[in-house]
Chains A and B, each alone.
Chain A
Amino acid sequence: MTNSKKIREKLTIASATLLQVTNVAATETPDDAWNIGTAVLFYSESDGRVSAIEPVISGTKEYKDGDIINLKAVFDSLTGATPTGAHASSIEQTFTNPSGEKPYTVAPGELPLDDTFLDTRVALSGSWNTDIIDEYSRIIIGGNISNEYDYSSLGVSANFLRDFNNRNTTFSAALGLSSDTIEPSGGVPTPFANMKVAGTGTNRDGADESKTISDIMFGITQVINRRTLMQFNLGFSETSGYMTDPYKIITVIDAAGLPTTSLAIDDLPYVYENRPDSRSRQTFFWKTVHHLTEDVINVSYRYHTDDWGIDSHTIDFHYRYELDNGSYLQPHLRYYTQSAADFFVTSLTENEAATATVSDYASADYRLGEFVTNTIGLKYAMPVGKNSEFSVRAEVISQIQNDVGTPVGDQANHDLTPDLDSFIVQFGYEFYFDQ
């Protein structure tokens, strides 16, 4: 027995004892039954930031005529606090909540977070996969709808796939269209207008805004050899409409790097951000799936570029390590790096804030900054009885923000682009439901 086989056996025994695996005979998956996948994800960020619980349920059924239907529901319950875009300062800072009625203060040296943000989201999606054209082609029609208290989205997609070359090659072409509407709490803010002191009005008066996203994607999947499959995709996306975050602000600093005090009556030293109303994105994606003697490697690379100046690279790697009784361990590594948007700033000077118009763009939203995200995770899955599987996975996500620009005065005493650590744990159970 080779060393690797010994390790595999040891791990199988260890995990079996830990989770009391019952003996499994891989049986035939039942026809005419719904394949149901359920999972619940717990997400938690460091430093009192966002936490979320996300239950998911997904059902797939294959019909005798070859059609496949999928229905999925995802619930998102978010709590916690999220950065507003204002940065930490050596003085105590006061902000106003989105409705304009309540103030909240942030201690010196602390990152300003808005915790009035509580969110529950429901998303439903469905797809119909059919070979109605001919035996070498498939069409997948999809639809999705999601809703939260201030945001709703409706989308449709159509995917066409065709096999060639004794089904060793597949070409795909897809179209997607989505329409999102936002009704921000307290109203849509005026770009670069000041946040006002609580109880004095808001500079937020628009009712709602919307945006449309159109996507087109071309792909090739190619069987390389008996053990290897590769996929290449090229995607183009155009978004048009309101993309500004109506809750994000930017600190206006004076010459000393502190929040400015030369303000109109009832104004606070923070202005609302503004983003362009169009965005063109292109993505290039490459994935390889390779079967070793027993294990499987799944690795992908994605390059993203857009006209906001954001370039990113993503490498995603999964290694499925097969254990002896049909269970497996799957380590996961992900590396992500992005460049900041052209209009990403950590603050604005008094002059910049005063002269900015609706055709200027600026945002201090950390998600548009320059950073690296590293993820490391591990999943364990085991068969349970006939045709069911239980799984658990845990991941650590570490986002490391790079400094952008040169700090002014007091700004040098604070981290203007703080890092973010998050942790996820997910439990999953998949089974067949016979009608």
Chain B
Amino acid sequence: MNLLKLLKLILLILVINIPVYADYPLAPKFQLPTEDGVLSSSELSGKLIYIDFWASWCRPCKKSFPWMIAMKEKFKNHPFEIIAINLDKDKALAEKFIASQNINFPVAFDPEARVAELYGVEGMPSSYLIDQQGKLRIRYTGFWNKSKNEKEKTISQLLKKH
């Protein structure tokens, strides 16, 4: 690991939420089961994608759903997709939560956390913004009320750029 990457890592650890990738690596591809089929990352190419790794036992994960639902609604006329990837080991617990929300985006199931590991998930929840070229732009670890507006702005900006 070169010095620049090391410094950026230290900065990441010490400072509030600087989750920017140094050189926009390609987002790992995946294929996961959904409630009623299969979701393949290749289906989403050309769009701005927000991937959220969550679990039913994680309180901030559940708290982020109303915001995600609102974002999907707000940007529904834009090429913007949200994918919630569930990491529950017991699918029934996840389904109970899903039933209690009016989710307007696909939920995929990754009980063995294979895709989570591919994406280098370090905390729960973890969300990733992938741009229209399929490159990883930002990683958010945790869900914070105070950063909702900033995230919305970033989504807006990335949609405009294209």
A294 — which chain B residues lie within 8 A by C-beta?
none
CB of A135 within 8 A of CB of B142, answer: yes
0/1 per residue, A56-73, Cβ < 8 Å to B? 000000001110000000
A65 — which chain B residues lie within 8 A by C-beta?
145-146
CB distance from B88 to the nearest CB of A (A): 14
Report if A167 contacts B (CB, 8 A). Answer: yes
CA distance A167 to B13 in the complex (A): 12
CB of B62 within 8 A of CB of A135, answer: no
A167 — which chain B residues lie within 8 A by C-beta?
123
CB of A31 within 8 A of CB of B145, answer: no
Report if B16 contacts A (CB, 8 A). Answer: yes
CB of B16 within 8 A of CB of A134, answer: yes
CA distance A320 to B132 in the complex (A): 51
| Candidates B16, B63, B123; contact of A166 at CB < 8 Å | B123
CB distance from A25 to the nearest CB of B (A): 9
CA distance A65 to B60 in the complex (A): 12
B144 — which chain A residues lie within 8 A by C-beta?
66, 135
* Chain A residue at minimal CB-CB distance from B121: A166
Report if B157 contacts A (CB, 8 A). Answer: no
Report if A434 contacts B (CB, 8 A). Answer: no
B97 — which chain A residues lie within 8 A by C-beta?
28
Given contacts A31-B63, A166-B122, contact A64 B17 (CB under 8 A): no
CA distance A135 to B12 in the complex (A): 12
CA distance A25 to B63 in the complex (A): 20
0/1 per residue, A116-146, Cβ < 8 Å to B? 0000000000000000001110000000000
0/1 per residue, A220-231, Cβ < 8 Å to B? 000000000000
B100 — which chain A residues lie within 8 A by C-beta?
28
CB distance from B126 to the nearest CB of A (A): 11
* Chain A residue at minimal CB-CB distance from B145: A64
* Chain A residue at minimal CB-CB distance from B93: A26
CB of B17 within 8 A of CB of A135, answer: yes
A66 — which chain B residues lie within 8 A by C-beta?
144-145
CA distance A134 to B141 in the complex (A): 13
CB distance from B112 to the nearest CB of A (A): 14
* Chain B residue at minimal CB-CB distance from A31: B63
A135 — which chain B residues lie within 8 A by C-beta?
16-17, 142, 144
* Chain A residue at minimal CB-CB distance from B17: A135
CB distance from B66 to the nearest CB of A (A): 10
CB distance from B117 to the nearest CB of A (A): 13
Q: What is the interface of chain A, defined by CB distance below 8 A to chain B? A: 28, 31, 64-66, 134-136, 166-167
The 5 closest A-B pairs by CB, nearest first: A64-B145, A134-B16, A166-B122, A65-B145, A135-B142
Q: What is the interface of chain B, defined by CB distance below 8 A to chain A? A: 13, 15-17, 62-63, 97, 100, 122-123, 142, 144-146
16 contacts between A and B (CB under 8 A): A28-B62, A28-B100, A64-B145, A65-B145, A65-B146, A66-B144, A66-B145, A134-B15, A134-B16, A135-B16, A135-B17, A135-B144, A136-B13, A166-B122, A166-B123, A167-B123
